[in-house]
């Protein structure tokens, strides 16, 4: 597989044949404690006092990226391509057979968040990775094949198109007004209170003004911070985030049992040769956040192929319903 850039959108596309997945006959759950022999070796785990793991990360069994080698970014005539260098890790979020984050206590969710923080910081030490994707697919409509709760962390040598666009417009807003776009959004949402769903001392959740999906919810730190992993250095911030995540997901699960949780975090600053040009103002103009994208039906063709979204639930109505649940 290799990464190719579409010159008309500047989006990077991973193309090529996927390695064939081996047929596993073993019917045991791959992610339950005790069945570690069914998964690759542990990268990092958090343990309880008995020395048993409670959150565990390991490399994905059939990764679409490979960890060894150089990017070999090269031209092919007018086109650009590079090797599919990356790191794909799975984080199993509970040792027992658990199917939703919401059935865990806030303390355990806090441990899961600590693991995300650690893995992000660690992968950012690798200068080849420009961005670290952190996401979770829950339920069959969201494409999750394994029900035992887990998430994915993927270090990649490019910035995903959607995030790249967000960074671009956040920078443009900052260049024009000298303020963070997301802080401005938070200010307006907390003043209008029409789309807010929940708030605690460190975070606010609301249905975005132009929600792409019905009951879409974003969660942002109230105090400006571009860096997920630095923000979560504070224990009490982790606890607040665990609380608000659990509250929001419990609400979402009353509407659908399929959703994506996507973290939008700052790119890896160490991986840019010219910090000034590309991401020079990122500390001031980017504001990390979580997007929860519920799936209630299969996406339409228009949405999938043209990224033109149709959402039949007004975000104001969605927020009111979620708030009052």
**Is the sign of the CA dihedral 22, 25, 26, 28 positive or negative?**
positive
Among 3, 12, 31, 55, binds Zn ion (CB under 5 A): 31
C-alpha span between 114 and 238 (Å, rounded)? 8
# chain residues binding Zn ion, by CB under 5 A: 11
Per CB under 5 A, which region of 57-65, 119-127, 242-250, 283-291 contacts Zn ion? 283-291
Per CB under 5 A, which region of 39-47, 78-86, 132-140, 262-270 contacts Zn ion? 262-270
Per CB under 5 A, which region of 51-59, 272-280, 282-290, 293-301 contacts Zn ion? 282-290
Per CB under 5 A, which region of 65-73, 144-152, 241-249, 300-308 contacts Zn ion? 144-152
C-alpha span between 6 and 290 (Å, rounded)? 27
Per CB under 5 A, which region of 69-77, 176-184, 208-216, 308-316 contacts Zn ion? 176-184
141 forms part of the interface with Zn ion (CB under 5 A):
no
Comparing CB distances to Zn ion, the nearer of 31 and 198 is: 31
Among 1, 14, 32, 194, binds Zn ion (CB under 5 A): 32
Nearest distance from C-beta of residue 66 to Zn ion, angstroms: 28
Comparing CB distances to Zn ion, the nearer of 138 and 148 is: 148
**Which SS3 state, helix, strand or coil, does residue 48 take?**
coil
DSSP string across 286-323 = ---EEEEEE--SPPPHHHHHH------S-HHHHHHHHH
Among 10, 19, 97, 127, binds Zn ion (CB under 5 A): 97
Q: Which residues contact 196 (CB under 8 A, 6 or more apart)?
A: 189, 190, 204, 205, 206, 319, 323
C-alpha span between 151 and 226 (Å, rounded)? 22
Comparing CB distances to Zn ion, the nearer of 63 and 160 is: 160
Cα–Cα distances (Å) from 264 to 134, 167, 184, 290, in that order, read 8, 10, 17, 6
Residues 178-237 that bind Zn ion (CB under 5 A): 180, 182-183, 224
Nearest distance from C-beta of residue 98 to Zn ion, angstroms: 7
* Sheet of 259-264, strand order: 44-47, 53-59, 87-92, 150-156, 131-138, 259-264, 289-294, 217-221, 203-206, 196-199
Comparing CB distances to Zn ion, the nearer of 148 and 260 is: 148
**Positions that interact with Zn ion (CB under 5 A):** 29, 31-32, 97, 148, 180, 182-183, 224, 264, 287
């Amino acid at each position: 597989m290799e990464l190719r850039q579409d010159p008309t959108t500047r989006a990077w596309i991973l193309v090529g044949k996927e390695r064939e997945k081996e047929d596993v006959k073993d019917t045991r759950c791959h992610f339950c404690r005790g069945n570690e022999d069914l998964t690759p070796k542990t990268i990092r785990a958090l343990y309880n006092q008995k020395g048993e793991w409670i959150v565990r990360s390991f490399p994905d069994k059939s990764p679409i990226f490979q960890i060894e080698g150089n990017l070999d970014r090269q031209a092919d005539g007018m086109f650009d391509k590079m090797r599919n260098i990356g790191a794909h890790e799975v984080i199993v979020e509970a040792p027992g057979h658990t199917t939703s984050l919401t059935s865990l206590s806030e303390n355990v969710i806090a441990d899961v968040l600590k693991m995300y923080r650690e893995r992000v910081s660690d992968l950012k030490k690798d200068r080849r990775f420009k961005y670290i994707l952190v996401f979770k697919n829950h339920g069959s409509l969201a494409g999750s094949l394994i029900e035992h709760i887990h998430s994915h962390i993927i270090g990649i040598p490019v910035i995903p198109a959607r995030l790249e666009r967000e960074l671009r417009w956040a920078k443009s807003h900052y260049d024009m007004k000298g303020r963070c776009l997301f802080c401005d959004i938070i200010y307006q949402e907390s003043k209008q209170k029409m789309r807010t769903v929940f708030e605690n001392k460190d975070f606010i959740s609301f249905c975005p003004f132009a929600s792409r999906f019905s009951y879409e919810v974003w969660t942002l730190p109230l105090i400006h911070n571009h860096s997920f992993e630095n923000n979560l250095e504070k224990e009490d911030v982790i606890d607040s985030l665990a609380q608000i995540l659990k509250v929001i997901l419990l609400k979402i699960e009353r509407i659908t049992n399929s959703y994506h949780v996507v973290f939008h975090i700052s790119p890896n600053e160490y991986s840019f040769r010219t910090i000034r040009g590309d991401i020079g103002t990122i500390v001031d103009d980017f504001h990390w956040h979580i997007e929860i994208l519920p799936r209630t039906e299969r996406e339409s063709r228009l949405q999938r192929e043209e990224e033109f979204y149709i959402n039949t639930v007004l975000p104001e109505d969605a927020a009111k319903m979620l708030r009052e649940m």
